[in-house]
Amino acid sequence: MKKLLYSIIALSLLTVSCKNEVKQTEEENESHEENVVELTDQQLKTIGIQLGHIEQRQLSGTINATGTLKLSPQNRAEVTSLVAGVTKRILVKEGQNVRQGETVALVENTEIVALQKDYLVASRQLMLAQQAFQRQQDIHEQGAGVGKNLQQAKAELDMASVTEKGLRLQLEQLGINSRQVAQGLFSNAAPVRSPITGVVGEILVSTGSYLGNETVLMKVYDNKALHADLNVFESDIASIHIGQKVSLQLPDHSPTLLTGTVSFVTAALDNESKSASVHVRLDRTLGKRLLPNMFVSAVIHNDGHTCDAVPDEAIVMSANRKFVFVSLGSNRFRKQEVVTGLSQQGYTQITFTDSVSPSSEIVIAKAFYLESMLADHGEEE
């Protein structure tokens, strides 16, 4: 009796389990068929559905970016004086071209006169020390001198030479001619020289202004060395590489475009803008008035490469996502999501989000009819 009871219970559980499996299979099939549309032969002919295959196409594209014209640190300079003092004269004007080492201002300082006096004394002492050493050397060679006196003369010569050299280097740093000072020709002002060749951008002092050691007199820019720093979004960085050609437009919308080449891409991403800086070396810019911090819009040209591509008409949009219809045979088509890339001459690069056979047939024309049929079917449900 107990065996019969156990058999009935087991059979009941097996029946329930089988029903659940059938129900689950039906639900899976229903879910699986959600993105499938089936047409009759007449519908297929009336709509004009065309089938084709994914093609291998050579596509190239462009990336839009914006940025500004910049100067590298070595191409801009702040002009300062090596000594504190009063501005005696300013020898240049804003916008004037200057050469590296050209005197742009004169600074007066009483210490300059004292330094020149010290150098004059040191140069005369060096001359005397040289004469004394030569005299002791001549006496020693004749066998009449004392070795100690020669050594003493040599030590004094070395000391005088070191002193003269140190003061001479100080004068040269200040731009004062040591040969003229050695002849007694003093200057009461030190020249301030431009550290680079370029254009005077801004003069920050006036005649009579007191200058400290860190006071900036003016700024000089070498605008011939301008480059463009472009901000490229995170999603486009993978497509940027050194050597790509770039076209740039100035803010005045002039028909003349600047051209350049990508020279490097920074390795850091800005957290706020989610963009990286792309450095573009400009081609010849003769005749164009370019200034630092000018805004530019740019188009970066991608090199062509072979990729999977379909006609633009094969791609449909739904809920801000992109899809193509893959043929399942027997007039049945499944909507498959894709990620698009480059577009050119009516073809767009695609990558399926799920695995799809490369030999599969896809709908290459009138795909939007299938999308509308799916949408209508969804509304009826």
Determine the Cα–Cα distance for residues 110 and 314; give it in Å rounded to an integer.
84
Confidence check: pLDDT of 105 > 80: yes
What pLDDT sits at residue 64? 86
Q: If pLDDT is split at 50, 70 and 90, which confidence band does 28 have? A: very low
Task: Indicate the pLDDT class of residue 146, thresholds 50, 70 and 90.
Answer: low
The dihedral through the CA atoms of 277, 278, 279, 283 has a sign that is negative
Does pLDDT of 84 surpass 70?
yes
Residue pair 325/262 in contact by the 8 Å Cβ criterion? no
pTM of the entire predicted model = 0.57
pLDDT of residue 379: 52
Residue 27 pLDDT exceeds 50: no
The predicted structure's pLDDT at residue 222: 92
Cross-strand bridge partners of residue 329: 332
Q: Is the pLDDT of residue 143 over 80?
A: no
Report yes or no: 174 and 190 within 8 Å, Cβ to Cβ: yes
pLDDT exceeds cutoff 80 at 289: no
What does the block give as tokens for 106? 């004169």
pLDDT in tens, 46-58: 888 899 999 998 8
Q: In this structure, what token pair is assigned to residue 172?
A: 């040269």
At 278, the pLDDT band (50, 70, 90 cuts) reads very high
